[in-house]
Structure 1
Amino acid sequence: MSFFESLRQKAPFLDRIAENFTPAITRDEKFKLEYKLPADENILDDTNADLSFVSAFGKLKELQKVKNTNEQAMAYVYSGKLFLTPHYLLFRDSFDHSSCIMVVNLSAVKRVERATSTAYAFSLLVTLYSGSQIVIQFIGLRYRSEQFCAQMKLRLKDNVPNAKELPEFLASCYSEFLLRKNLLRIKDITVPPAGLGQLYKYPGNPTVAKEKAKLRLWFNYFKEHGANIGIVKNHEFQKLIRIGVPNRLRSEIWELCCGSIYLRQAHRGEYERILKDNEGKSSQAVEEIEKDLKRSLPEYSAYQKEEGIQRLRNVLTAYSWKNPDVGYCQAMNIVVAGLLIYMTEEQAFWCLSNICDIYVPGYYSKTMYGTLLDQKVFEAFVKEKMPVLWEHIVKYDIQMSVVSLPWFLSLFFTSMPLEYAFRIMDIFFLYGSKTLFQVSLAILKVNGDDLLEVEDDGMFIAILKNYFHTLSDSAHPDSSDIKYRQITKFQELLVTAFKEFNVITESIVAQERNRFQKSIFQDIETFVKRTQLRHMPKTFNLSQEQLSNIYDIFYQSIESHKISMGTGSSNMEFEIFIQFLSKFCDWSKPSETDNDPSFRKQKRGFLKRLFKKWDSSRIGELTLYDVVSGLDKLITQDLLESINFFFSLYDEDDDNELLREEVLQISEGLLFLTEPWKTGRYVDELTKKSIENGIAESIVKENGSAITVEQISLPSGVTVDEEKYKSEQTERYLEAASNFLQRSFEYAKPLELSEEINLIDLSDDEDTDSGTKQKNYEAMMANAALDPTHPKVLDLATFRMIILADETYELFFTSTFRNSIHVDEQVDPSEGKEKALRNMFDGIIADGKRVAEEVRRRVDSVATKGSIASSESNSQTLNGSSTTSGTSHISASKDDRMDDVDDFTTEHPNEQEELLSTSWIEMDSAPDPSTNQNRTLRAISAETSSDQKDLIEFETN
């Protein structure tokens, strides 16, 4: 027992561990996420290999060209794994996964040939477009190496068409310009297009930033390790980024780090095509973009002129059309404005895509769930890493999110001078979103002593704002060591961020996000629901509880829409609309009748009319507001309003008149709506009353007229001739449908007077009896009504009259139809049909007041009639008449259906002790007029239903 008690005590701890695990993702998804490859890439094959890279301009290549030299040409060899995807060849070292990373687009491969091979070693020599060479020596079984090479050969052939576009793409890379101009000595070479900084100067002082020295370092790196899409990344690559990227190379380095260079190459011309296809179009996102354009880094001179504004407009607008789920979010304009200082429009467009999809997902969504989530994660880090400061923040109720939200949302562009924000962006693109947490924690750490002295949000923000404005100042101005005095506050910030807080890794950030994700999503969904319900149109028949339930069912039906993430369309299409109604409308639930093609046609026809009627925007989709407004009219308690609404569904021209075809269609609509009662799946008030009368009659008959009100009790077991009541209700609805069609054509008025001879026989032939005349009359009337040469119309007033003239249809529009729409019931997706079909008598026995009152009425009626009969009997006796006439009179006054119940009970007395396990009958949801209780039994919910060959030389021109 102690063992199990120990397990229970450890269970909360195990639960917390489980919360820290990140959601499982596939190997391909993890691979693409790690190396920022396009979404359509997947691993085709992988193998172990040793790799050496010989640059076309490096020192090793020069030694190979010089034959007489004492210096031996040697290259580094890295052991690792080689991956092949449809468009890329990727190598990753096995030491630390960062000593040698090479991502080569297959279109950049010019030649593949076998290198020197032995029986135990298999090697390839891959030559790139630039002349650089990659030596691959496969490790492992030879047949696996042959398989990999065969697969690579196929992919190379598939990428030959892409090689034709390579020169144009390389012309946009500044690294290629540097190498061609300074090493190949190409004259008249065009400088690649760049960002606004090329025209309006880059932020910061180039002398202080040592731009020329940095550019020289990167030039040497490109010589030895390749450039752009043929570059090899190693620790030196990362170090150069941390030192600082030169302005002219920043766009390309950002592209390489975030992977947008692969997107730009794979989707050449797509950016321009999006702008062209959507030119002149308007949307909510476009309108919001226009409002924020002039508020995007206004301190930078380019955004005070139309050229800068237009570039910003183009990128934001194109992205809103590319990704309508995100569209546009405030602060996105700040990020794009920063990118455009260094990047072209197309570069910024694809870079923004990867920022939103990979680096900070959810930051710029409609609900900004990513930002809210990371604020929660950041607060957890502050609490863990700086507990003293956190206690101070909690004690004085300082809102940490108010302080840190602009840092994360604008990626520090609005918090600190741009030249320093761009340095952080360099590291952000290299290491990912953990950079934001590390830098933010370092800001609090550096200013911790000052922050502990303030007690309100205003002073807290003021201290940090002043710190950002002094980042160029010395961090140790009073130090006697000149080296310490030369360290700026910004350099101190970077050291603190990436030394003291290097424990903040991407996996830890992912774990913390997973821990808080559920609660954040719930808070967002609650807030969105409350906001939408508050702005609902005014309803007259729907309560707040019913509106809340409709909201839940509406968004449960649209599975593609994620409320918390703000993704997916929130509008409802017709097919989803059918499923939506089937969850709470009795007449829309799936049934056996759905197998009948004619019924399915009736059903879709009516629902299509309802859908079109509710579609206020006429776009073929329903919003939540459309559905709420439509349901509010559908469940109106006003009889005439209900009849008028049904009539308007078929009066498409709004002239208050229905033609012959429209009358037939409205008749089909009534047949569809009444199908659950016509087939006996549900009962209406008339049938329920008939059953209650039958039970009351049996009680009175069994106990006689001597029963008192105090003695009235329902029997413990009740049986009833279900087929009889089912048949009666079916006949009544069929008769109502027949009468409606007959009366509609009988009382319809002529559309225009016809001079032809009337089809009705007006002769007074004495030889024809009255019954035959009546039949002929009815037949002629039908013929006349259906004769297309005698068009008639049914107006609204006549339609009302016909409905009100029929007890069944009057009751249907009075209560049955309204009560068949259960907008106040929670929908349980797991609820099956068997839970919905309950025995009607359980409901009657649970609340027997109506039966008891009926028994009392009958007892009183029998007593009164008995007294009258006795008086008449005495009177007749005095007159010498027989005493049996009074009894005959009472017996004849009984309802025939009650006699049937009596007969059934008499013939099968034992069955009174049995309860039906299943029944076609279900209590209607109409409230009992004699009590305040609402006996509602839920209806069924919708059922959810090459031969391998030696590798030959492969060469592309």
Structure 2
Amino acid sequence: MSFFKSVVGLAQQVLDNLTLNDGLTPDERLRQQFRLPESERLCGSVDCTISVYGCDKKAIKLSPLADLPSEISITQNYLLFDNSEEKIVMHLSSIAELRKIYYHESICISAASVNGWRVLIRIDEIRSRADKFFNTLEFNWGKNLNAKQEIFKEFTKDFFSEWLVNESQLKNHRAMNSLPCGLGFTYKFPGYIEKEQRRQKLKIWYNYYKSIGRNLSIVQTQTFRKMTLQCMTNEIRGEIWSLTSGALYYRFNSPNEYQNLLETNKGKKSAALDDIEKDLNRSLPEYSAYQDEEGISKLRRVLTAYSWKVPDVGYCQGMNIICAALLIFMDEECAFWTLYLICEKIVPGYYTKTMYGALLDQRVFEELINKHMPILGEHFEKHDIKISIVSLPWFLSFFLNTMPLVFAFSVMDRFFLDGDKILFQFSLAIVKENSEKLLNCEDIGECIAVFKEYFATLDESMAYLNGIQLKFDILKQTAFNEFKNIKNSEINKEREKNKKEVIQYIDEFVKRTEMRSLNLHFIKTSQASNIYDLYYSVLLYGIDAPNDGNLKMNFYQFKLFMSKLTPWVNINYKNQLSNSQDAFLRRLFNNWSIDNILSFESLIEGLDKFVDKDSMRLITAFFNLYDSDKNGMIPKSTIMEMADDLNFITTPWRNGILLDSITNKKLEKRIAEVYIKRKEKLAERGLADDNPLPENLSYDREKYEKLQMDRYLTSGSNFLKLAFQYAIPLENDGKSVDTKDSSSSDVIKYNRALDPSRPLFINGSTFRMIIVADETYGGFFENELWRSFDIDKSLGSEGVYGAMMGGLRGAVNVVMTSGQKVASEVKRQMEERNRAGSVTTVGTLGTLGTFSSSAGGGGSGSGSGSGSNSTRDRGGSVGVLSVESRDVGNLLSPMEDESRVLNSSGEDEEEDDDDDEFGNFIPAETQGETLSPSLIDL
């Protein structure tokens, strides 16, 4: 389930390719136009006009466009030309002769094919560019002759076109079914064609192949197009599909890949293979080959190879139908490459776990209905009829599951020629042909019944235009006459308009589906949503090869993820700190991952244990990270590692970057003391004090940092000492220990940790005791660790650590604390003084403000799963506490320091020395003045 999101994350890239081509490089555009393998690169191109001469040396009639300048290109292996009427794809190893002919101020190039036809290229460029183009062509041709000419001959000898031209007229020719061919040659082809009609069509193809090429060296003229649509025979169909889809070129480029995929992955198991097995018997079950083990085995092998070729997709329902159709006309390898081109290039996104390409095209289809058949569109909207529910199977199965097979194959003939716009044209024509009946439908069920009846009668004849025609022939005329103006540009425009909404819908659906299966105890739904977004934003960042199958989180991605989630991970750490970080994160990664693969589910379930607010359970979860044997005991070497890891995860607090709850409490207590002392001194002078706490309180940041840093250093040292002091010794296993070295034996005698004869262990109870007994480490597990995972933060442009450190803009760092706690502390201390019989009457508390953050990062201490700890500027030593009249969390939170406002009332010479630490906050006495301080120095 977790790889759903990876596909969704890549959908934007794929759909961009479906929409506008402006972002394509010349190489990408060329490969897309001619459906060439990814290895082909543009080596040169020039404008030219062409003439083609057949084997009989007679000129072949071309369209008028052939006399207009069009671009001809060369790659490492192909000579390519396309003027929208004629198309030449000529593998360079099929060129038998290459000549340069000087022509006026430029040159002509004559390229003769091994099949006997020749193309004359008149270059309409300056002489220098023409010469450069010819030299490149000649160089690439020479390389192909040396490396691939024999491969070319071996590859093409088993094509039906070669058999038809070279052997069919011989008395001792090979039997046609001895060629690598589809199941139809054994189990017969669907439909019926008269023998004489078949013979005539084959003769037409024979003449064309013999005259102007075949397979890897062919000129596709308008005659070729008409023959494909009107003179197709079952014997030739597989080769034509392979040619027009581009599978032929991929297969020649990687001749052994299909077999290698099967052999390399033989015996392996995957979820995709299980899904394939479930669908094998549902694949065109009406065709006899798929009622037999031979047909089922071929289908299984092709689908299995594809699942290993594209592991991030594996297998999706619908592929089995397409593949079963291909195997009727092709051998396994050819069907494999054709299936690959369909899924990855021709209709990308149709056959994925989310079907994002198909869903987008359903939205486009609905828009086209509204545009070209507005009355019907309004009717569907009025009755809330989602026609896409009916049309989605048409697009996914190329009508193989709805039309009689013989008609669906005819649709596929045109599909491979013209691409996916054919699906829109046929679908619109189907709706158009049934529009009158559909206007009487009031729900989707009635629409389904209309289409079902229509498809069942496609082979029936009816009166049409003063004649009798098959319903299917009428459908084709409607598709290509009334909807001939449905161009790729219009489809792409609608895709561009709707893709954002479709991607968002899929994203939310997949997210809900994946999160529904989570088993969490402490992470809330909203927090899980934030983690989900962060996980996939890290996982999909910078992916250049979406089909490599590596769509699970690796260790580096995990480290990046944690750096955005916690303040104690920083990918920019160097040297020892970086090594300590990697050691602890590797331990987390290994503990949370399954077979070294960290899925979203395994990550969040591991994280769930570390946001538990119960300190005892949290300490146990930390201990379990080191209990690799699951026996409740941790050996001496691991104790050392645990100590190092505790030092690492407390780095922000140990270095004074963040202030912990203990330091916060000291600050709260000190603020209360200063406030009470201030009120007492004012009361002694007879001055009233009805003012709230000042808005800004400066304090000696460096002093509190140093105290905290000393605490953490001491705790780190004490942990190791106590761990070995209370460790449980196990009896020696009987092996003697060499203690000849007297110096080392003395050390061993007095240091239990170094005595190899008495291995030491600690259990979970001992570890909890050591942690709880230490004020700093106990407080860390009770307050800091679970809050350090900022799971309440929605995905933003920067991580937690970056947000914290990015807030240090000035020389003064800002620290926040809870005014509620300060007020409580003031009240507590005043009550104690009153009970003790203080001579000075302090009076009422007055109005106390509450400390809160005016910058981001504050959070409620009671309901939050994350802490908003303070940060500091390493260059400054003064902090500022800001006060507002609203309640916030009980942690220190960062706030930008705008300025330091000092009291302007002057110094009090009578102030006690112990108050110098806080600055002079008692103003000089003046007649009728009321103290209105804005700053108290702590």
Separation in 2, partners of 1:685, 1:259: 66
Partner of 2:137: 152
Amino acid at match of 2:449: A
Structure 2 letter corresponding to 1:99 = E
Residue 724 (structure 1) aligned with residue 692 (structure 2):
no
Task: Tell me what 2:81 maps to.
Answer: 91
2:639 corresponds to 1:663 = yes
CA distance in structure 2 between the aligned counterparts of 1:837 and 1:585, rounded to whole angstroms: 17
Where does residue 713 of structure 2 map in the other structure?
734
Q: Amino acid of the residue matched to residue 820 of structure 2?
A: K
Output aligned runs, 1:179-258, within 5 Å. Answer: 179-182=165-168, 187-188=173-174, 191-207=178-194, 210-258=197-245
Q: CA deviation at 1:212?
A: 2.4
- Which residue of the partner structure matches residue 581 of structure 1? 562
Superimposed CA distance per residue, residues 795-827 of structure 1 (whole angstroms, 9 cap, x where no aligned partner): 322222221211111111112111111111224
1:39 equivalenced with 2:38 (yes/no): yes
2:789 paired with 1:821: yes
What SS is found at the alignment partner of 2:340? Answer: helix
- Tell me the distance in 2 between the aligned counterparts of 1:151 and 1:186: 43
1:386 maps to amino acid: M
Residue 108 of structure 1 is aligned with which of 91, 94, 113? 94
TM-score, normalization by structure 2: 0.82
1:127: which partner in 2? 112
The amino acid that maps onto 2:414 is I
Task: State the 1:21 CA deviation.
Answer: 5.9
Corresponding letter in the other structure for 2:127: R
Q: After TM superposition, give the deviation of residue 783 of structure 1 in Å.
A: 2.9
Aligned to 1:509: 491
Residue in 2 that maps onto 1:848: 819
Answer yes or no: is the 8 Å Cα contact 1:258–1:354 preserved in 2. yes
Contact 1:50 1:137 in 2 (8 A): yes
Q: Does structure 1 residue 465 correspond to structure 2 residue 444?
A: no
Does 2:534 align with 1:553?
A: yes
The percentage of counterpart residues that share the same residue type is 38
Q: Is 2:621 aligned against 1:634?
A: no
Q: Secondary structure at the match of 2:785?
A: helix
1:251-330 equivalent positions in 2, closer than 5 A:
251-330=238-317
Output the CA distance in 2 between the equivalents of 1:85 and 1:215: 33
Deviates more, 1:639-648 or 1:380-389: 639-648
Change (3 A) 1:186 1:655: same
Q: Tell me the residue number matched to 1:167.
A: 153
Contact 1:38 1:263 in 2 (8 A): yes
Question: 2:116 aligns to what SS in structure 1?
Answer: coil
Which whole-Å CA distance do the structure 1 matches of 2:305 and 2:132 have between them?
A: 43
Query: Contact (CA 8 Å) 1:416, 1:469: kept in 2 or not?
Result: yes
Change (3 A) 1:939 1:462: farther
In structure 2, what is the Cα distance between the partners aligned to 1:803 and 1:231? 79
Q: Which moved more, 1:428-437 or 1:813-822?
A: 813-822
Q: Give the aligned partner of residue 521 of structure 1.
A: 503
Query: 1:279/1:296 Cα in 2 relative to 1: closer, same or farther (>3 Å)?
Result: same
Q: Relative to structure 1, is the Cα distance of residues 936 and 456 closer, same or farther in structure 2, using a 3 angstrom cutoff? A: farther
Q: 1:178-231 CA deviation, whole Å, 9 max, x = no partner?
A: 110256887447652211111111111112993222222222222322212111
Give me the whole-angstrom Cα distance separating, in 2, the residues matched to 1:217 and 1:413: 28
**In structure 2, distance between residues paired with 1:567 and 1:523:** 26
Deviation digits for residues 28-67 of structure 1, max 9, x if unmatched? 2222111111122121101123333223356569xxxxxx
Deviation of 1:832 after TM superposition, in Å, equals: 4.5
Deviates more, 1:667-676 or 1:744-753: 744-753
Distance change >3 Å, CA 107–CA 868, structure 1 → 2 = same
* TM-score scaled by length of structure 1: 0.80
The corresponding residue for 1:768 is: none
For residue 533 of structure 1, the aligned residue among 504, 515, 531 is 515
For 1:752 and 1:128, the matched residues in 2 are separated by: 86
Aligned 1:345-744 pairs, distance under 5 A: 345-476=332-463, 481=466, 484-485=467-468, 487-537=469-519, 539-559=520-540, 569-589=550-570, 594-595=573-574, 597-615=575-593, 617=594, 619-704=595-680, 711=690, 713-744=692-723
Q: CA deviation at 1:154?
A: 2.2
Amino acid at match of 1:552: D
2:751 corresponds to 1:783: yes
566 and 549 in structure 1: CA distance in 2 versus 1, 3 angstrom threshold: farther
Which of the two has higher C-alpha Rg?
A: 1
Deviation at 1:492, TM superposition (A): 0.8
- Show CA shifts across 1:388-418 (max 9, x none): 1112222222220121111111000011101
For the residue of structure 1 that corresponds to 2:351, the secondary structure is coil
- Cα-to-partner distance string for 1:892-913 (whole Å, 9 max, x where unaligned): xxxxxxxxxxxxxxxxxxxxxx
CA 1:265–1:251: 2 relative to 1, 3 Å: same
| Cα distance change on mapping 1:182 and 1:590 into 2, 3 Å | closer
Question: CA 1:799–1:916 in 2, change beyond 3 Å: closer, same or farther?
Answer: closer
2:701–2:879 Cα contact (<8 Å) kept = no
**What corresponds to 2:51 in structure 1?**
52
**CA 1:470 to 1:561, structure 2 compared with 1: closer, same or farther past 3 Å?**
farther
Instruction: Look up the match of 1:937.
Output: 893
The offset of 1:497, in angstroms, is: 0.4
Which stretches in structure 1 are left out of the alignment for 5+ residues? Answer: 1-18, 62-75, 760-777, 871-914, 925-929, 941-957
Classify 1:827/1:428 alpha carbon distance in 2 versus 1 (closer, same or farther; 3 Å).
closer
Match of 2:580, as an amino acid? Q
**Superposition deviation, residue 552 in structure 1:** 1.0
Partner SS state of residue 629, structure 2:
coil
Q: Which residue of 2 aligns with 1:797?
A: 765
Q: CA deviation at 1:869?
A: 12
Asked if 1:80 corresponds to 2:80, the answer is no
| Distance change in 2, residues 1:921/1:438 (3 Å) | farther
Determine the C-alpha separation between the residues in 2 that align with 1:602 and 1:742.
20
Query: Contact 2:699–2:880 (CA<8 Å) still a contact in 1?
Result: no
The letter of the residue matching 1:196 is L
The answer to whether the 8 Å contact 2:360/2:499 transfers is yes
Question: How far 1:143 moved relative to its partner?
Answer: 1.8
CA-CA distance at 1:437 after TM superposition: 0.6
Matched-pair contact (CA < 8 Å) for 1:683–1:921: no
Q: Which moved more, 1:793-802 or 1:747-756?
A: 747-756
Code of the aligned partner of 1:154? F
SS at match of 1:268: coil
Residues 489-510 of structure 1: per-residue CA shift (max 9 Å, x gap): 1111111100110010112111
Say if 2:554 and 2:597, in contact at 8 Å, map to a contact too.
yes
C-alpha separation in 2, matches of 1:20 and 1:667: 56
Amino acid corresponding to residue 373 of structure 2 in structure 1 = M
The answer on whether the counterparts of 1:102 and 1:232 sit within 8 Å (CA) in structure 2 is: yes
C-alpha distance in structure 1 between counterparts of 2:237 and 2:99, whole Å: 36
- Paired residues of 1:369 and 1:521 also in contact (CA < 8 A): yes
Q: Which amino acid in structure 2 is aligned with residue 853 of structure 1? A: S
In 2, are the aligned partners of 1:366 and 1:566 still within 8 Å (CA)? no
Which structure is higher in helix share? Answer: 1
**Partner SS state of residue 697, structure 2:** coil
C-alpha displacement of 1:382: 0.6
Q: Give SS of 2:224's match.
A: helix
Farther-moved stretch of structure 1 (160-169 vs 180-189):
180-189
Q: 1:590, 1:90 → 2: CA distance?
A: 49
Instruction: Report the Cα distance in structure 2 between the residues aligned to 1:386 and 1:709, rounded to whole angstroms.
Output: 83
Cα–Cα, structure 1 residues 793 and 869, in superposed 2: closer, same or farther, change >3 Å?
farther
User: Matched residue pairs, number?
Assistant: 821
* 1:143 match: 128
Alpha carbons 1:20, 1:515 under 8 Å: kept: no
Question: Within 2, Cα distance between the matches of 1:693 and 1:82?
Answer: 83
Task: Flag structure 2 segments of 5+ consecutive residues without an equivalent.
Answer: 1-17, 61-65, 740-745, 842-871, 897-938
Q: 1:450 to 1:244 in 2, by over 3 A?
A: farther
